Structures are given as C-alpha cells and as structure tokens.
Structure 1
C-alpha cells in the first residue's frame, strides 16, 4: 500500500512539474532576454547618493523573490529535511531504502547552471558588502529601493523617538513574556480546553525565542519617501498563538454589509452602478491605522462577536474567555528590537502580527456601525 501511494504521488508531482516547465518555456519564447530589456524606474528606485551600475540595476530588477542558483549543492540541508520527513512517515526498512537512494542521487548531483551573469554576481557581492547602502522592498508596487544607510537609520530613529508611540526599554522582556505565555497556555490546558498537540504547538520552544524585529519599508509613492513601520514577529514567543487566534477569529470579519474583501469585489459591486454627474467617488486612508486602534475597545467588540458566534465550537475547543485572555496577551506584548535596543509600542496593534489586521478590521466594523447608528 505504501509503495502504491508513493508511486501515485511521484507520478502526480512529475506531471505537475512538466506542465509548469512547459508554461515557463512558452512564456520565455514570447519575450526577449532580460539583459536587453529597458528597466523602467518603477522597478528599481535609486534614492542613494551613488549611481547604480547596469549590472546592479539588472540584478535588482529581478525582484526580491528571485532565487539565485547556489554555487554548491546544499547537501547538509537536503539531508536534514529529508531525514525529518522520512523519520516521521516511514518504517525502518522503507526509510533505509530511501536514505540509500538519496545518497546515490546526491553523489551524482552537480550544481545547476547559474541563472545570473558573472557581472550580476559581482554586483550582488558589492551590494552585500557595501554598508553605506541598503536594498529594500517598496511598501507598494514590489519595486526594489536603494537608500543610503544613514538616511534609512535617520528615518527609523525619528519614528522611534516619538515617545507617545514608542517607549525605550531598559531590558529584554522576551524571557518574562515567554514565561507568562506558558503559564496562560498551561492554565487553559488544565481546564481541558487545549489538546496536547495544540498546547505543544503554541508553547514557545526552547529557553529563549527571538524578539520581534523592527524595520521600515519605503513609501516611494509619497513625498519625502517616509517609512512604513513593520514589526516582524515570525519566530517570536507569541507568533504561533497569534496565528491560531487569527484562524479562530478571522471568520468574524466581513459580517458588515459595507465590507469589501478586495478590489475584485469592489469592481463587481460597482460595475452596474451609475454615478450622477454631480457626484464623485472618493476614498479615505486612515493614517497609522494599526497603532491607532484602542485595544481595550477592540477586545470588548471581539468578545461580544465571539459570544454571538454559533459556529465558534467548530473552530476551537477554547472558551470565549480563554480566547480573549490569549488575545489580550498578544496585543499587550508589543515589544521589539532595533539596533540591539528594545522598545515597546505604547498603544495599538503591532504592525506585523498575524492577529493585527483582523483586530483592526473588526474594530473598524464596530466603529462604522456606531457611526451609522448616530
């Protein structure tokens, strides 16, 4: 039975890869090589005081998601990932056979051909080694932005100097927060609301998890190119809990009759509308939305929505009180690190947490309903 399943998966994966390769080859025939293309300013925005070389511009135009082929096969990485997989899913005889096959394949394997030119590889090395410049992804448009490092640091420090929004901490609060989260999760588990597998998933692994990291994305569509503050919480002690809460609370969003999911839904709703001659369509953008959300009011709103949700038990075994306790903890732990210094966001939801967009949307829906009721 195991061999049949393996063969079916192999055949399916092979066909998918062949179809993908054919699509890529078809697209490649319809255009000229990248090296002869004109690279518009929109794809590479140079805000630094240094000129970009043609090779640097060509390299950056490939975008932040372009994967450069390695000069050597990452054998150790392959072995670790394959071993983790086969040890969990295969019995000893079958696992040993797979290990033998992998060894024979890796012994004959050769590094893939480079997908960038030698000039571009030199340009990559120069950009990495040059500490006076920084290569960033634009906040919108997927463009690559090159800034002077001092300019970037100056804008970051200016943001963090606003004491009404950020508070500098004397010590790293990670260990304390990790301990508090473990206590909350254990109390929920002891009440029988958290199964063992989920408890082990949400509990911070190891003695110390990394603190969330603060950085900025340049808003090249605005004057003076301000930075959008981002707090990357990936790998932090609250990240897995925030993801689980996002899964549980996410379905509550969109219950308002005025909710628009995306631009496609907006177009579909507006395509048959007739705008009178003396009317015009306008849009408004809330400045610093996440950091402006009053979390205490947002928590009360979410608690009420959870109590009114008849489908909540289909998504979790936790009670509304336990969900709100974890949510309050994630919203209160807004600390992060930048340049080896620790800060705390004084109010609002952290930009970068998986739960923040949902909390912001639910609060804005409540705010909208209250405004319409007036």
Structure 2
C-alpha cells in the first residue's frame, strides 16, 4: 500500500512538472476526481453484490428483525390456543419471507443507484477529457512544439491507470477483510410457541431468493442417473432444438459446418460434466445439496406444502391439510370441474375430437393446408394437461388460483392459433377504452379533462370479478365470441376463416379441457383453462360485452 501511495505521489508530481496552465489543471483535477468517485462507487457495488452472493447482509439490517421480534414476543405471550399458535406460525413464516425479500430489494436498489452514479462519473471524466484535448489543441496552434503536450497527456493517462490499480487493490483488501473471516450464521430455530418447522438462517436465505436460486453442480449431486445418460439427454435436446432453428432459417442439418458444430457441442458437454471440480466449488455444492435435502426432510416431516405464490416469484409454506382444504373448497365453490368417473384417461378421446375437426375443416377447404399443419397436434410430445394451484397471498382471505399446464395438450396449437388471430383484433377494437399501463391512464385522464368529462363529481367505479376464468358459462362465452366475430368480420370472415369455423375451433378447445390431478381425471365444464392463451381473449370479450351493456344503462 505504501508503495502505491508513493508511486501515486510521484506520478502527480510528474504531471505538475510539465507546467500545465490553470485551465488544464482544472480539467485534470476534474478527471481525477471523477475517476476516484467512480472507483469508490464500483467498490460499493462489489461489496453489495458479494453480500447478496454470500448471504452476508449488513449488520444494520438485523435491527429490523430485533424490533419485530420484540413485538411478536409480546403477542405470543397472550396466545395459548393451538389454532392461534398455528396461525402465528404462518404469520411468522410470511414475516420472515417478506423481511428477507425486503432486505435483498434494498440491496438491489442500492446497487442500481450506485451503478447510475458510476455511469454519471464516467460521463464527467470523458467530458473533461474532451475539454482538456480542446484546450491542448488550442495551445498547440500557438506553440509549434507539441512534445510537451504529448508528455502531459501521457503523464495524465499513466496516473489514471495507477489510480485504477490502487483502487482495485484497496477493494480486494476490503473484500478479504470483510468476508473471508465473516462469522457463519447460526441456526435460527423457532421456539415451541406455534413452531412447525425449524430452518437455519442459510436455509431461510435460500428460500428468500425464490425462483432465482439455482443450486450449483446439480448433475453431480441431485441426479441419480449415470453421467453418461445425463450428457446424452442434454445433447439430444440441444441437437433437436438447434436442428429446428437451422431448418427455420433454411440451413441443412447435415451440412459440414452443422455436423462439426454438433460434434464439438457433444465434446464440450462431456468436458463440462466430467471435468473435476475444484475443492472449494465441490465443498460448497455438497454443502448446499445437503442443506436442501435437510430442508426437504424437515418440510416433509412437518407435513408442509411448498409452492410458488400467485403473481410473484416467491415461495409459500402452508400446512398440507389446509392447502388441500383450500383446493377442495375452490373446486366445490366454482363447480367448474367434473371428475371423469370411468377412470379412463381422456387424452385419446380429446385427440380424436381435435383431429376429426381439423380433418373435416381441411377437407371442406375451410382452413388452408398451412393452417391445418399449424394446428395439428404434435404426436411426439402429446400429453394430458395437469393442474396445480398457486396461493393468492395478496388477497385478504388467502385462496388458490388454478393453473392448467396444457402446453402439450391436443388442442394447445389451436389455442395459440386463435389467440394470434383474434387478440390483435381485440386490442385494436378496445384501444380507446383500455388502459395499457399507468402512463396511458394519465394520458387518457388528461384527454377526458380536456373534453370536460372529468369533473369534481366524476365517480371511478371498479369491478372485481372473482374467479373470472372459471365462472364464465361455456355457452355464454361462445355466444359472446360469435357476436364479437360477426360484428368485426369482413364479409362474414376474419382473415380467410369464416366465423362459424372460428366457433367450431373455439368449441373444441373448450370441449377438450381435460386434466389430471391426484391420480384422477377431470374435465372443465365452466369457463376456460387458466394457463391457456385463448382463455384470456375469451374472458376479455365476455367482459367487454358485459361492460358495454352496463355503461348503456
């Protein structure tokens, strides 16, 4: 460090020995100051990023936990009932999750602010450099000898490089000082007042990272298959996807370059999967693997269900029995699903209906050959849809939202086709009565004000439709679709499709809404499947018609 300090002093002296004028000195100082500030910001960013990566939050963040823990301790003393304890545990889990997420959001905001400052100081440095060059160029014209000016610019640049080197060295030393000997966090086990699970701080931090967290070296620890099988599976998938891309861009997949590429790709996969891990990486990966396995055992033992919260990337923790009760209550309340009591998988019947309709439309020239191919099911990847439920934690009463995963279902490609065909038309029709985002809302409010629609007596009315996708009657949705298409069609057609053809395609989508859940088969008899691209459009036109009738009255 002393060596760096002495070198810095010497380089500064060399610049001043070249006797720059006052304007040059001012620019030089501004450049150096901007670089110094920039490096300080970069140091802060490096430390903050390392805090996030190493789960080592600033000590000041613990104050929030301490204050909330005191309040919770007081509330716990007054609760002895088991139900109260259970509710308290759920609240504690939510508190930990939200506080943890809040802390990391604060760090990310700090990083973003520091990055803005880095860009700001970088602009200042570049601006002053241009200014210095302009001043120097003017002096060159007045003085024929340019060697002095070249020496000055070189001396300034050398000092800048030394400043960067010095700042990087200081950052490295701080990182070692801050983190290499940082104490490891202790197990933060909840006490018996309402405790269901006990997770360590490290485990809670992994949970707080949500879906962004990726365990390292998964193929070495998490998969039971032989490494050769994993390599072969990954290669086949990459080969298939790349062949699709090459075909789309009219490249031959058996071309010499393509063959060499695939060969090198397989070699690379083998190298990546078989390359020995460093001791540090292996130890860290094994530690995380064992920690995750420990979490799974604890959650399983406590009978806790884990899933993704609705409209967020965070996890929820809930008692499995309570979770199942919420799902059962939802299915009973909506009456949108009917169990297929025969126990026979409906996939074959759904596929038959889809193919039968497409063949019929194709034979009657109601759809083109290209459209037929576009909507025809992919028999290689065909599978029955399945349903899962996310918790809607933002609602006052926590309920569930059903998501039907139907990406490989028989009618999925018809859904995508109808969505592409009709959604753009819907967006155009409703562009004047739809708020795209908050900016659009403000602009439209200004327009209303200019037209004197917006007055002190104007009322804003909001309607919230509960379980919209599963509450729309099937016949009502089809009728609304027919009226919408008839109203905005040209000569009874949308594109090259007749309105009745669109209705037939939409009907088969609704008729084949089948899925599996807990070793049983179900068919959706009301509304559309949430998760299907066509369902949103269908719900939108149904609500559009309802809203227009309401406005008229």
State the TM bucket, normalised to the shorter chain: 0.7 to 0.9
Taking structure 1 as the reference length, what is the TM-score of the superposition?
0.79
Distance 1:96 1:120, change over 3 A: closer
Query: Per-residue displacement from partner, 1:32-67 (whole Å, max 9, x unpaired)?
Result: 422023575266799983233312211112222443
Q: CA deviation at 1:279?
A: 6.1
Q: Secondary structure at the match of 2:98?
A: coil
Match of 1:154 in 2: 325
Q: What's the Cα RMSD here? A: 3.7
Is the CA contact 2:486–2:492 (under 8 Å) kept in the aligned structure 1?
A: no
- Equivalents in 2 of 1:355, 1:362: separation in Å? 11
Q: Secondary structure at the match of 1:36?
A: coil
Is the CA contact 2:206–2:213 (under 8 Å) kept in the aligned structure 1?
A: no
Match of 1:361 in 2: 540
- Equivalents in 2 of 1:70, 1:362: separation in Å? 48
Pairing partner for 2:294 from 114, 126, 129: 126
Query: Per-residue displacement from partner, 1:68-103 (whole Å, max 9, x unpaired)?
Result: 343448532442134322484334433332233334
- Equivalents in 1 of 2:312, 2:362: separation in Å? 44
Instruction: Find out whether 1:60 has 2:189 as its counterpart.
Output: no
Give the number of equivalent residue pairs: 350
- Equivalents in 2 of 1:76, 1:125: separation in Å? 26
Q: Secondary structure at the match of 1:368?
A: helix
- Equivalents in 2 of 1:234, 1:163: separation in Å? 24
Distance 1:288 1:69, change over 3 A: same
Correspondence 1:1-374 to 2 at 5 A: 29=46, 31-32=48-49, 33-34=51-52, 35-37=55-57, 41=98, 49-72=196-219, 74-84=230-240, 85-86=242-243, 88=247, 89-90=251-252, 91-109=254-272, 110=275, 119-129=287-297, 130-131=299-300, 132-162=303-333, 164-170=335-341, 171=343, 172-206=345-379, 209-254=382-427, 255-256=429-430, 257-270=432-445, 281=460, 283-309=462-488, 317-374=496-553
Q: Secondary structure at the match of 1:343?
A: strand
Match of 1:3 in 2: none
Unaligned runs of 5+ in 2: 1-41, 62-95, 103-189, 220-226
Unaligned runs of 5+ in 1: 1-24
Q: Secondary structure at the match of 1:51?
A: coil
- Equivalents in 2 of 1:226, 1:180: separation in Å? 34
Q: Which has the higher contact order (CA 8 A, sep 6+)?
A: 1
Query: Per-residue displacement from partner, 1:348-371 (whole Å, max 9, x unpaired)?
Result: 222222111111111111111222
Q: Secondary structure at the match of 2:365?
A: coil
Bigger helix fraction: 2
- Equivalents in 1 of 2:491, 2:350: separation in Å? 28
Distance 1:372 1:100, change over 3 A: closer
Q: CA deviation at 1:114?
A: 7.7
Is the CA contact 1:231–1:351 (under 8 Å) kept in the aligned structure 2?
A: yes
Q: Secondary structure at the match of 1:136?
A: strand
Taking structure 2 as the reference length, what is the TM-score of the superposition?
0.55
Is the CA contact 1:48–1:148 (under 8 Å) kept in the aligned structure 2?
A: no
Distance 1:179 1:63, change over 3 A: same
Distance 1:98 1:325, change over 3 A: same
Is the CA contact 2:334–2:471 (under 8 Å) kept in the aligned structure 1?
A: no
Is the CA contact 2:389–2:401 (under 8 Å) kept in the aligned structure 1?
A: yes
